Structure 1
Amino acid sequence: MAQQTLKALEFPQLIRILQRFTRSIWGRRRLARLQPSSDFGEVQILLQEVEELSDLTAVEGPCPFEGCLDLTPILKRLVAPGSLLLSEELNQIVAVLRLISRVQRYLRGATDRHPHLNRYRQRLRDLSDLKKAIQVAISPYGLILDQASEELCRLRAEISTTRQQINRTLHQLFGRVEYREVLQDQVISQRNGRYVIPIKADFKGKVTGIIHDQSQSKATLFFEPFEIVNINNSLNLLFGEEKREEERILRHLTNLVRAQYEVIQEDLQILGEFDALQAKVAYAEEFKARTPTLIRQGRVRLKQARHPLLLYRDREEQGFHATIPIDLELTPSERFLVLSGANTGGKTVTLKTLGLLCVMVQCGIPLPVAEGSEVCIFDAIFADIGDTQNLAQNLSTFSAHIKRTADILAKLQGRCLVLLDELGTATDPAEGGALALALLRALGRTGAYGVATTHYHLLKAFAHEEPGFANVAVLFDDRTQKPLYRLAYGVAGPSNALSIARELGLPEEIIAEAERQIGQEGMQALQQLARCEAAQQHLAQREQLIRQEEENLRRQEEKLAVVREKLEQERRQLLDEGRQAMVKAIRQAENEFKDILTRLEDRQDSWGRLRQEFTTKQRQLHKRLVPKATAVDRQELSLALGQKVFLPALGQTGVVASSPDKEGRLEILVGAVKIRLSSDEIKEVRAGDELGRIYRGRWHGGVELPETAPWQSSSLNIIGLRVEEALPLVDRLLDQAVLHGCRQVDIIHGIGAGRLQQAVREHLRGHTLVKQLHHGEQGQAGRGVTVVEIKD
């Protein structure tokens, strides 16, 4: 893409904003070389990389990218044969190798959903051996370590031993008589790489040795006694060998780095690409940018688009929402827009917004737009914006515009985007308008997409009639005389030159003179045209609002569909879980019931106790399987105190004796029995039934019903029945007796072998409703009858 177009669209300024988010010189250099691509697949990959890294960053956090130093000077010296890297430079290489390892570890968090990030990790070469070789030899402070080589270790050990020998020898000299009055101080120092001691200048002939230096006062001489001359010579030889060994180690490490020169260069390039990718993600996060949908059809739909440079400026000064968004759309049926309207209304900004956002997409940069934006890929983008006067080529503004337009027409091939600002200006209006019209026709024949700004009515009328072209206006508030910075499609915009001049403070006499020059008829025509265009703008605004409402409704319907689908999935899941829980509860109850039957057959417990346990288990199972009544159901059941109700579980009627407690249970009186039940265990008796009267009798309580409850008999004949047949009948008799307030019942079992009598009596002795047992009187057949007294 031509640099002239990128410059006109202010793409270099955008790159400088992006570079603020980089964390290395390599990333900044990579962004500086960034160019838009016209390959659909390549652009798709670039945008997918941004999506993948954004997803990974949300989980893992930003990649640790510290320590990416500029190795350019080091690598340049490395190319020269025989060059030697210093230990500090080798440590800089280690810092970059550590960064490569950190990036590789970070990218291990990528999954199958991040195929492009995985390729970054695979492209980075492992240089851990080189890093380890340098770290073994060089300390973090740039010192060559003893462990760098065996020879260096041996030499430094000898140097240490030799120094100790010098120290011992000098301390021995300090103790001699001839040195006591000569010494200035018992201090060992160095001069010219040799160990010396300070002596008084007046006694320089008293001891033998070599004088290497004197103090500034000349009162002290730095003296090397002959006793340590040979040892100093040996030490200096060792220093020389140490230096040569250190140089050999540095040369060896330099050669190791040189052998990996190309790999390091490639890794640095990859780090630069990854840092540039991180900058795109950080930019998107900072400016609420997103990757638009990439489409192959020739259509651009940018919703709530903001100009990136204005957004950056406004965010720094006023905040993100200070930048007013616009909607931009190009379609195959309306691929070229003629943009008109008042000066200062935002026409040029609209032009640049469209061009810059399309360039950003083709560079893989997220856009500050709303969700639902779509962009196609253009084979080329051309822009002629602003004053292109070229003094060097002796071209006027008009000539420069014409030359630029001619160049554009010559290069149009494939799907192209053309952006032209103030087409046909800087010359005679009549000729300029005609020329602009001819240029638009030529662009239309090529099938180009684009936008041209104008004030010519001739071009507005052309766009209204010509297929493939459409008018669009920047809106202007006639009441406040200020631009609204919004677009209205399908209408042409008035220039409002005189109104804007008046608003900007031009003297009124000049405005009046201009109006007189136009003339009465001209002013009326302009006013009429302005009213027509204002009406068109108003209608366009209404249509736009309707479209927005329709779009909002469509989005709400889509959201509701998603919610419905989610609720349906949750319902199916809850049903499945409920079925599984029911099956589990039923199987558990079956096992418990089988256990009760087994204990009954083996006579491990009495029938009464086992029956109570069975009833309890049955009630628990019923509670788990039968859903509780909802709050709405309970509210619909309106029961008054003393109202007659039916209890389906018992097949009996009763009367409400209390209001609901905290758990919503009611106290029901059935005969002499007081029962607490939830409202879902109670049925209302049909309307019109007489209410019962609650009373307190000699027992816990009772109820007097309008009709006497049915009671068959207070005695039970079980003669001839088996034990397992008789005991359930005995329990039923006791239940009926309690419900009907009967205090005593007779059980006729006969005498016979006594098994039935014994079983009945054992069963009744452990029964919770039985107060006392005794044989019947002679009139009751004596021992063949058991009289049961019921508990109060």
Structure 2
Amino acid sequence: MKRVLRVLEYEKMKQQLLGHVSSSLGRQKIEELEPSIQFEEVQQWQFETAEGAQVLRLKGHIPLGGIFDVNAHVKRAKIGGALSASELIEVASTIYGGRQLKKFIVMMVEEEEVELPRLFDYVTQIEPLIEVERAVKQCIDDNGHVLDSASSALRTIRHQVRSYESSVRSKLESITRSSNTQKMLSDAIVTIRNERFVIPVKQEYRSSFGGIVHDQSASGATLFIEPQVIVTLNNQLREAKVKESREIERILAELSDLVGECADELLVNLNVLAILDFIIAKARYAKQIKASEPKLNETGYVALIKARHPLIDQDEVVPIDVELGGEFRSLIITGPNTGGKTVTLKTIGLLTLMVQSGLQVPAEYGSEMAVYQKVFADIGDEQSIEQSLSTFSSHMTNIVNILDKVDFQSLVLFDELGAGTDPTEGAALAISILDDVYRRGACVVATTHYSELKGYAYNREGAMNASVEFNVETLRPTYRLLIGVPGRSNAFAISRRLGLSEKVIEQAKQQIDSESNHIENMIVSLETSQKSAESEWEEAEKIREEAEGLRKELISQLEELEKEKERILEEAETKATKAVEKAKEEAEFIIEELREMQKEGLSVKEHQIIDAKKHLEEATPKLTTQQKKVKKLAEAKRKIKTGDEVKVLSFGQKGSVIEQISDDEFQVQMGIMKMKVKRDDMQLLEKAKQVETRAMAMLQGSGHVKPELDLRGERFEEAMTRVEKYIDDALLAGYHQVSIIHGKGTGALRKGVKELVKRHPHVKGARDAAMNEGGLGNTVIELK
């Protein structure tokens, strides 16, 4: 595996990734990184990287500052070791950094409702350990200096130290300022030697000061002397500083014990922070190389869309589209050298390793990658001088090792398969090796410049030719991968462009057998067809985009029209509502006038007024929602039926439909006149107007109803119709009791009247009239 990682430049990719870590914790994770062969683990890693990328996309950053790899510090504190002030500050800073990171992720999940299940699970494992952080920072500043406030004893000792230092300096400065001693000094300064204050004295004046000599200059002309007058003070200062050191050691030991007590929690925090730093580094790297999360599978299928090699400058790299493991498991890339075949091979290999390392790949969204159990690669010049192996021998040794291990869950990459030996034998070996790998079910991508392999894919099921495009005009490869088209030799075209005579070129062509010429011509035809298809596809795509734009524009216009329609309907509804309100006010006014007429003695019953008002209220249209607007339109368009109030257009008169004669002709009653009217000559009146018309008609006709109805001499059917109408009129007239005179006769009319009033909803009861009221020839009805 190490050889594969080396030839596919996996370590170089990791060096790029290392540039995005925030701490040595993440650096260690990256240095240990290797591709996984476990599908679930790879899937989990990809999910984590995607969440990190989501955080960066939404926030642009993540707080990972102030985090240190303090694993060694914590483990030493755990076994009772003392930490230095700077080590303790690193521990406190790491605790603070972990707490800030936890707060950041929790806030995104709980307050902003961003889905980050894996990152959230990680940060919930981080213990805040505020007490440890606070204790350290109360005793030590950010520069690793133990503060006076760390303890009352330290404050007292340091006060003494400063007092002694001040006394020593004061005495020494008085010596250096004295005119008697200045000539004895090499320089009028106070300095320190062996942690004691001294003055520089000339050699010849050594005995003038007494005391202790601590040092001398390189020439020996100057001695650094601690005068006898300050020896005692220097001793006191030294003792105070020893006390200070002991107190500091005690404070640091106390803080170290505190760290040791929570060592297990700290180690968990550090592990989580290392993972999170690693995840965010992968997300930052994905952003830099413009990578996307691929769909994963275990079937060996690869579909890369505009894939780019991450180690090539983004401004120079040419994206390629690659498919493998679907309709074909073998991809044979042919063509001349320096055409970009090896780059294509390395792109497929390195992107596979990146995916299986939890990294997103520099390809368009929608790409799909497989998780292989084994990845093999035979790429580059592996000639070994030490082993005295030729290029061919070295390649073949590697290929033998590959064939011993390859299986159906493998990806195999061969660069210049069969090269380094006789072309005929090399091509035959290449074909045999490809067949063997294919029979084992592995996915294989091989590059070659042998013309014999150009027809390989045409004769093998599950194999496909490909080539890297070459621009004959510029004499440079375009690095575009053409799937389905084998590479062709450009020797003649290049020679012609460089000025070789046509005669020499033609003679050279005659040296090539007809089969090779046929293959070259076929390849040229394929290239031409593919370019034409690509051109047509681009044109079709352009037309599709234009059509899509027009569709969106039309949808937008339709939405605007619908909004305008709703606005107009709302305005109409508002106007209609106002009109109805006005009509109701006028009706109320009319009813009030009717009541006034009643008071003045005119024949207008109170229940007639109430009933008319009720009918008017029922006639009020309720205009509310769009649904009711549609319903109203539907009612306006419904078919005319018996009983409908209509307006006969040719006469300009209103009437009532009595009967439908045919689909297009009706009998209409207009006043006392009945006539046949065509459908097109009628306009259906709105229901409100029909009800209002009937209500007013009832009001107008109610004064002519008699308290009795004489049916004698009437035919049975007509009599029953008259009884029904009479009951309605009597109700409107306000009668509580009426008489139906039907005579004795055969008793048929009497029986019919009895049956009708029995089922009538507004009849309270019926009885035969008394002898003085007409006897059996008269039926008395009580109305509700």
Counterparts of 1:278-317 in structure 2, within 5 Å, are 278-310=280-312, 313=313, 315=314
Residues 427 and 223 (structure 1), Cα distance of their counterparts in 2 relative to 1, 3 Å cut: closer
Q: Give the drift of 1:595.
A: 11
Q: Which residue does the alignment assign to 1:129?
A: 131
Counterparts of 1:276-355 in structure 2, within 5 Å, are 276-310=278-312, 313=313, 315=314, 319=315, 322-355=316-349
Q: Give the drift of 1:337.
A: 1.0
Give the one of 121, 140, 153 matched to 1:119: 121
Question: How many aligned residue pairs are there?
Answer: 587
Residues 133 and 596 (structure 1), Cα distance of their counterparts in 2 relative to 1, 3 Å cut: farther
User: 2:308 touches 2:320 (CA, 8 Å); kept in 1?
Assistant: yes
User: 2:206 touches 2:223 (CA, 8 Å); kept in 1?
Assistant: no
Q: Give the drift of 1:39.
A: 2.6
AA aligned to 1:350 is: T
SS of corresponding position for 1:328: strand
Q: Is 1:251 the counterpart of 2:253 in the alignment? A: yes
Q: Give the drift of 1:458.
A: 3.2
Q: Give the drift of 1:132.
A: 1.5
Q: Which residue does the alignment assign to 1:539?
A: 529
Q: Which residue does the alignment assign to 1:34?
A: 33
Counterparts of 1:179-198 in structure 2, within 5 Å, are none
Q: Give the drift of 1:68.
A: 3.7
User: 1:192 touches 1:212 (CA, 8 Å); kept in 2?
Assistant: no
Residues 68 and 525 (structure 1), Cα distance of their counterparts in 2 relative to 1, 3 Å cut: same
Q: Give the drift of 1:466.
A: 1.1
How far apart in 1 are the matches of 2:81 and 2:24? 24
Residues 74 and 513 (structure 1), Cα distance of their counterparts in 2 relative to 1, 3 Å cut: farther
Q: Which residue does the alignment assign to 2:90?
A: 92
Deviations along 1:590-635, one digit per CA (max 9) or x if unpaired, are: 9999999999999xxxxxxxxxxxxxxxxxxx9x999xxxxxxxxx
SS of corresponding position for 2:420: coil
Residues 391 and 558 (structure 1), Cα distance of their counterparts in 2 relative to 1, 3 Å cut: farther
Q: Which residue does the alignment assign to 2:769?
A: none
How far apart in 2 are the matches of 1:219 and 1:405? 78
Residues 423 and 193 (structure 1), Cα distance of their counterparts in 2 relative to 1, 3 Å cut: closer
Q: Give the drift of 1:215.
A: 10
How far apart in 1 are the matches of 2:150 and 2:144? 13
How far apart in 1 are the matches of 2:574 and 2:43? 52
Deviations along 1:647-694, one digit per CA (max 9) or x if unpaired, are: xxxxxxxxxxxxxxxxxxxxxxxxxxxxxxxxxxxxxxxxxxxxxxxx
How far apart in 2 are the matches of 1:466 and 1:155? 90
Q: Is 1:60 the counterpart of 2:59 in the alignment? A: yes
Q: Give the drift of 1:405.
A: 1.8
Q: Which residue does the alignment assign to 1:468?
A: 462
Q: Is 1:102 the counterpart of 2:104 in the alignment? A: no
Deviations along 1:105-131, one digit per CA (max 9) or x if unpaired, are: 322233251112212312333333222
How far apart in 2 are the matches of 1:588 and 1:230? 111
Q: Give the drift of 1:366.
A: 2.2
Gaps of 5+ in 1: 603-621, 627-792
Q: Which residue does the alignment assign to 2:373?
A: 379
User: 1:424 touches 1:432 (CA, 8 Å); kept in 2?
Assistant: yes
User: 2:202 touches 2:222 (CA, 8 Å); kept in 1?
Assistant: no
Q: Which residue does the alignment assign to 1:44?
A: 43
Q: Give the drift of 1:384.
A: 0.9
How far apart in 2 are the matches of 1:220 and 1:381? 73
User: 2:305 touches 2:322 (CA, 8 Å); kept in 1?
Assistant: yes
Residues 593 and 467 (structure 1), Cα distance of their counterparts in 2 relative to 1, 3 Å cut: same
How far apart in 2 are the matches of 1:387 and 1:280? 32
AA aligned to 2:141 is: S
AA aligned to 1:89 is: E
How far apart in 1 are the matches of 2:389 and 2:203? 87
Deviations along 1:147-204, one digit per CA (max 9) or x if unpaired, are: 3234334444565677789999x89xx9xxxx99988799999887778999999999
Residues 156 and 483 (structure 1), Cα distance of their counterparts in 2 relative to 1, 3 Å cut: closer
Counterparts of 1:202-601 in structure 2, within 5 Å, are 223=227, 225=229, 236-261=238-263, 263-310=265-312, 313=313, 315=314, 319=315, 322-497=316-491, 499-500=493-494, 520-522=510-512, 526-546=516-536
AA aligned to 1:116 is: R
AA aligned to 1:51 is: A
Q: Give the drift of 1:354.
A: 1.4
SS of corresponding position for 2:372: coil
Q: Which residue does the alignment assign to 1:152?
A: 154
User: 2:382 touches 2:391 (CA, 8 Å); kept in 1?
Assistant: yes
AA aligned to 1:38 is: I
Residues 167 and 331 (structure 1), Cα distance of their counterparts in 2 relative to 1, 3 Å cut: closer
Moved more, 144-153 or 376-385: 144-153
How far apart in 2 are the matches of 1:470 and 1:135? 67
Q: Give the drift of 1:465.
A: 1.9
SS of corresponding position for 1:382: strand
Gaps of 5+ in 2: 593-621, 627-784
Residues 203 and 292 (structure 1), Cα distance of their counterparts in 2 relative to 1, 3 Å cut: closer
User: 1:491 touches 1:537 (CA, 8 Å); kept in 2?
Assistant: yes
The TM-score normalised by the length of structure 1 is 0.62
SS of corresponding position for 1:543: helix
How far apart in 2 are the matches of 1:348 and 1:253? 59
Deviations along 1:316-345, one digit per CA (max 9) or x if unpaired, are: xxx3xx322221111422121111123222
How far apart in 2 are the matches of 1:557 and 1:46? 41
Residues 162 and 323 (structure 1), Cα distance of their counterparts in 2 relative to 1, 3 Å cut: closer
AA aligned to 2:273 is: L
How far apart in 2 are the matches of 1:26 and 1:35? 17
User: 2:198 touches 2:225 (CA, 8 Å); kept in 1?
Assistant: no
SS of corresponding position for 1:108: helix
User: 1:342 touches 1:476 (CA, 8 Å); kept in 2?
Assistant: no
User: 1:201 touches 1:219 (CA, 8 Å); kept in 2?
Assistant: yes
Residues 293 and 460 (structure 1), Cα distance of their counterparts in 2 relative to 1, 3 Å cut: same
Residues 468 and 591 (structure 1), Cα distance of their counterparts in 2 relative to 1, 3 Å cut: same
AA aligned to 1:422 is: E
Residues 160 and 388 (structure 1), Cα distance of their counterparts in 2 relative to 1, 3 Å cut: closer
How far apart in 1 are the matches of 2:40 and 2:223? 85
Moved more, 447-456 or 475-484: 475-484
The percentage of aligned residue pairs carrying the same residue is 32
Q: Which residue does the alignment assign to 2:19?
A: 20
Residues 410 and 143 (structure 1), Cα distance of their counterparts in 2 relative to 1, 3 Å cut: same
Residues 587 and 463 (structure 1), Cα distance of their counterparts in 2 relative to 1, 3 Å cut: same
Residues 416 and 262 (structure 1), Cα distance of their counterparts in 2 relative to 1, 3 Å cut: same
Residues 562 and 33 (structure 1), Cα distance of their counterparts in 2 relative to 1, 3 Å cut: farther
User: 1:343 touches 1:495 (CA, 8 Å); kept in 2?
Assistant: no
Deviations along 1:225-260, one digit per CA (max 9) or x if unpaired, are: 5xx987776655444333212111122223333444
Residues 18 and 574 (structure 1), Cα distance of their counterparts in 2 relative to 1, 3 Å cut: farther
Residues 456 and 591 (structure 1), Cα distance of their counterparts in 2 relative to 1, 3 Å cut: same
How far apart in 2 are the matches of 1:5 and 1:245? 58
Residues 215 and 512 (structure 1), Cα distance of their counterparts in 2 relative to 1, 3 Å cut: same
Residues 195 and 547 (structure 1), Cα distance of their counterparts in 2 relative to 1, 3 Å cut: closer
